[in-house]
Amino acid sequence: MRQKKQQRFHLILLAFTFVLCMFPSRANVVSAAKDTKKPTITLAVKNTAPTNSTVKVTFKATDASDIKTVKWAKGDQKTSYFSKKGTTVKLSKNISTVSIKENGIYTFYAIDKAGNTKIKKLEIKNIDKTAPTVSLDSSVMNQVATINVSAEDDSGIESVQYIKGKVTEVASDKWSSKAKNVSDLQSFTVKSDGTYSVKVTDKAGNADIKTITVTLEMRAMWISYLEFKTTGYTEAEFKAKIDKMFDDSVDLNMNTVIVQVRPFSDALYPSKYFPWSKYVSGTQGKDPGYDPLEYMVEAAHERGLEFHAWINPYRVTLQSGDYSALSKDNPARKWYEDKDTTKNRNVLTFDTDGDKKPNIYFNPASTTAQNLIVNGVKEIVENYDVDGIHFDDYFYPNLGSKYKTAFDNIEYNAYVSKTIDSGKKPNTIDVWRRNNVNTLVKKVYAAIKDIDSSVQFGISPAGNPVNLYLTQGNYVDVKTWMASDKYIDYICPQLYWSFENTYTDKNTGFSAAYDKALDYWLSLRTSSTVNMYVGIPTYRAGSSVEPEWKENDDVLQRMVEYGRSTGEVDGYFFFRYDFFFKDATQAEVGNLLDILN
């Protein structure tokens, strides 16, 4: 009887156990059914500093009823996106790590076992796989080169280093063993010629290298219109002529050519304002059928030479006052022959040396003439890759004792009347004339810089500053130019006297002896932006113009050496090409080349 009861009890127990196994507990069913709370998502970025690799994001998801699935996707996604898309990740103790390879918005998704969902968004901004944008430029002042470094990068600049020499491998050991760190500077200075490599590294570790070649001393060959024949050239002849002169300039260790492209209100290029020059076509106004300036600029740059376009701003003719001899499209002739006689005052004639052969000039007091000259400069800078614009020493002529009643005196008298009528005191005629020249120079400088700030503008005045400030001529205000950053980039006085020259001006103390003259010019320069170059007279070598030139063969050499010894002269311009090949100059030229090489 007891045995039967025990068997019955075991059967009931087995049945109850079976029921428990077949159905979940009521407590669990109620827990899942009652879970309406969204999962919790926690995101943490392990590396927030700029990096050029991946960014690790810790993805933590928790929920009372446990997490069923977690996913992530790039972009600003909605919850519905993850029903069929997204990258599923596995959780370990509710945590997973996701590697992000590029910047952007990322969406993280979690769904719990009760079906509640949650998304959370995160923006990654610190991945930078692009090297910095780097550019270099340089300038020279007082025989020291300043290299300017311009660098931009999304993550910021970490370091700037430089090495003398060409190093192009970012991973080169030289950057750690030989480079100089200039990270805190936007520029650095060097005191020797050569190529310099600059490495810029951003905060993410990307780097770029740029190189720049520095030349501390400008050595320029003046190539005058006198180097060209008046009968013109075919295109082949002209190119051969230029090739020869430029090759010779390189062989003479020049790094710049200064070529006269507008000697007489004409042009060695197709111009909207000036007629073709007879020095390319044989006849003023005749098209040679090619562009000489275009070829000259290209030929210079192919040889590593800078090209400066040399212009005479006011001069129209020499020893001829005949307007009819000018081409019909010459602006001087057009103004003079125009029925509107007021235009006649844009051009003037004056017999400088009393030989009854007057020269024609553009009127320095005429705003119309000034604008013509400025426009002529602008078209060169706009249309050609020139490195500089160069004026020489032709400004006002020497007007002599009649300076108050000649040349542009009519415009001066009109200025005086207008000034007095306004209740002001007019300037004297010499000051007024210097202001006319200053106005033109300032306009030219501004026009050049508005087009291309890298193009240099310089002037080579006559070497005696006393003559430049005469009351009856020249009116060249070099003191103003050399005291400002608004007129010129360089001055190049023509110091053509020997060391033994005995001329001294009693009023100013100016001495024409080469070393003393150069010292005087250096004392006039007060602007820190104006380079000092020196015009060197190759044409006087071996001549009898002064005893020292005749008796010595090292004057040119000593001129350059003295300039270098001052620490303030940044180059030398040699006048002119032809004289490097004259028999009389060869001994001097040979000694000069010893120090140029």
Say which CATH topology domain 37-124 has. Immunoglobulin-like (2.60.40)
In CATH terms, are 37-124 and 133-214 the same topology? yes
CA neighbours within 13 Å on the CB side: how many for 573? Answer: 30
Residue pair 372/273 in contact by the 8 Å Cβ criterion: yes
Domain ranges of the chain: 2-33, 37-124, 133-214, 218-314+368-401+435-596, 315-363
CATH superfamily of 133-214: Immunoglobulins (2.60.40.10)
Token pair for 296: 């000259």
pLDDT of residue 23: 43
Token pair for 466: 């006393």
- Angle between helix axes 409-421 and 429-451 (nearest 10 degrees) is 100
In terms of Cα–Cα distance, which of 558, 478, 475 is closest to 523?
478
Residue pair 592/560 in contact by the 8 Å Cβ criterion: yes
Structure pTM? 0.87
**Dihedral sign of CA atoms 476, 478, 479, 484 in order:** positive
Domain 218-314+368-401+435-596 sits in CATH at 3.20.20.80
pLDDT of residue 449: 98
In terms of Cα–Cα distance, which of 437, 415, 439, 443 is closest to 428?
415
75 backbone φψ class: left, alpha, beta (φ>0; ψ -120 to 50): left
Contacts of 479 (CB under 8 A, 6+ apart): 465, 524
Cα 91 to the center of its chain, rounded Å = 58
Q: What is the mean pLDDT of each run of 10 residues along the chain (597 residues)?
A: 45 41 42 81 96 97 94 97 96 95 97 96 97 97 97 96 97 96 95 97 97 97 97 98 98 98 97 98 98 98 98 96 96 95 93 85 98 98 98 95 96 98 98 98 98 98 98 98 98 98 97 98 98 98 97 98 98 98 98 95
| HEC assignment per residue over 304-359 | CCEEEEEECCCECCCCCCCHHHCCCCCHHHHHHHCCCHHHHHHEEEECCCCCCCCE
Contacts of 393 (CB under 8 A, 6+ apart): 460, 461, 462, 476, 494
pLDDT of residue 534: 98
pLDDT of residue 354: 75
Containing 567, the helix (H) or strand (E) segment is none
pLDDT of residue 33: 58
Token pair for 291: 């562009």
pLDDT of residue 356: 79
